[in-house]
Amino acid sequence: MGMRSLTQLEIEDLYRDHALGLVRFALLLTGDRAAAEDIVQDAFLGLHQRWDKVRDPGRILGYLRIAVVNGSRSRHRRYLTARRIRLEPLATVPSAEATVVAAEDQRALLAAIDALPRRQREVLALKYFLDLGEQEIAEILGISRGTVASTASRALTALARRLREEP
């Protein structure tokens, strides 16, 4: 017997619980707020349509993260000739929190992340934003744990080198 289908209300609950974190994660991968929201909506639509393939309901969040990574990659391919992603800190948001002006070295760090290869950016976001372990990252990106570790190491080295080169 097949699994029961996911009801609309259950999807709404999942969206309420996870949309914020996923949009933020997608923002790190795309550098585009609107695209991030779109990618996450698509991820939830995909979840509904592939519900029978999500064997373990406890892994829904993992599935959604994979969908966000794939959606970001797909978008990146579509806009390959357009501008590179550009991460912008709080200064773009007119709020009380915006009074915490991002320091110049933080901007330099974001620019350095921006210049990293796609996979390195993905690993860093998964590791330092979502605080996932190597095994979880490996499952989301479909690579080995060893590759996760080496990719993270190379990314940090590249960032450190680039930041040292900053005037």
Partner 1 sequence: MTSLEDRLRDAYRAVTDTVREDELPGLYGKRARNRRGGRFSAFAPLAAAATVVVAIVAGVAVPKLASSPGRPAHPASSPAVRSAGTGVSKPTASASPVRSAPMATSSASRTAPGASCPTLTVGADGSVAPLFCADGTDNPAALAYYEGGWIKGFTPKVLLLPATASYGQVVSAVCADIFGHGSPMGLQTEQQAYDLAANRAGWRYDINTVNGLSCPAAGTS
DSSP 8-state assignment for residue 1? -
Could you give the string, one character per residue 70-109, with x where binding to partner 1 holds by CB under 8 A and - elsewhere? -----------------xxxx-xx---x--x-x--xx--x
Contact between 36 and 129 under an 8 Å Cβ cutoff? The reply is no
Tokens 């996870």 belong to residue = 18
According to CB under 8 A, which one of 29, 64, 67, 125 is a site residue for partner 1? 125
Q: Which residues, numbered 9-28, are part of the site for partner 1 (CB under 8 A)? A: 9, 11-12, 15, 19-20, 23-25, 27-28
CA angle 23, 101, 22 (to 5 degrees): 10
Report the half-sphere exposure of 140 (CA within 13 A, side-chain side).
29
The distance of closest approach from Cβ of residue 138 to partner 1 in the complex, given in angstroms and rounded to an integer, is 19
Q: Supply the minimum distance, in Å, between the C-beta of residue 15 and partner 1.
A: 4
Q: Is 132 in the site for partner 1 (CB under 8 A)?
A: no
One-character DSSP codes across 90-153: GGGS-SGGGGSPPPHHHHHHHHHHHTS-HHHHHHHIIIIIS---HHHHHHHHTS-HHHHHHHHH
The residue ranges that bind partner 1 (CB under 8 A) are 5, 7-9, 11-12, 15, 19-20, 23-25, 27-28, 33-38, 41, 44-46, 48-49, 87-90, 92-93, 97, 100, 102, 105-106, 109-110, 113, 124-125, 128-129, 156, 159-160, 163
